[in-house]
Amino acid sequence: MAMNKVARTLQTWLFSSRWLLAPFYFCLVASLIALLFKLVQHASHMVATIIESSESAVILDILSLIDMTLVGSLIVLVIFSGYENFVSPIDNDQPKQWPEWMGDIDFSGLKLKLMSSIVAISAIQLLRAFMDLKNATDRDLIWSVGIHLAFVFSALVLALSDKFSDHGPAKGDEH
């Protein structure tokens, strides 16, 4: 009886410890605000220098904006999915305001979306490196390609392992 009470108390403490993750998500919100500040700063610099900028410089600036947008989207995905999966369900009484994936993404889906976002961000970085060849060395380009390929390979392995792992009843075994 006493052991059962100890086990129940331990379980309660362990289960309650998930709330220790909440400050991490608040810090991610703060990082989203910081990223927004840098986006506005970059966009204003871009507008101020658009007349004298070359076409490739404008393209590099646009790629930077796309990169920051993808990172911001990644942060939002981690905040909502992570909070819902690990801390507490989010009460979405107003479904028209919530993204379609909200509340439907499980940890496996979160991993795949994260890796897809990382691959996309890496691809943008690689494209930026190739667009700015005059400032890049061969060594920089080789590292950029290698890192991108590592992310692509990791995403592929993760997707394949998720596809072949058993996450429920096999097709045709739903009865």
H helix intervals, 17-137: 22-48, 55-86, 107-131
pLDDT in tens, 77-90: 888 877 776 777 66
Lowest mean pLDDT among 27-31, 38-42, 115-119, 167-171: 167-171
pLDDT in tens, 15-61: 877 788 888 889 999 999 999 999 999 999 999 999 999 888 898 89
Q: What is the DSSP string of 144-162?
A: HHHHHHHHHHHHHHHHHHH
CB of 53 within 8 A of CB of 61?
yes
10: its two tokens: 């331990």
Instruction: Give yes or no for residue 136 having a pLDDT over 50.
Output: yes
Instruction: Give yes or no for residue 172 having a pLDDT over 50.
Output: no
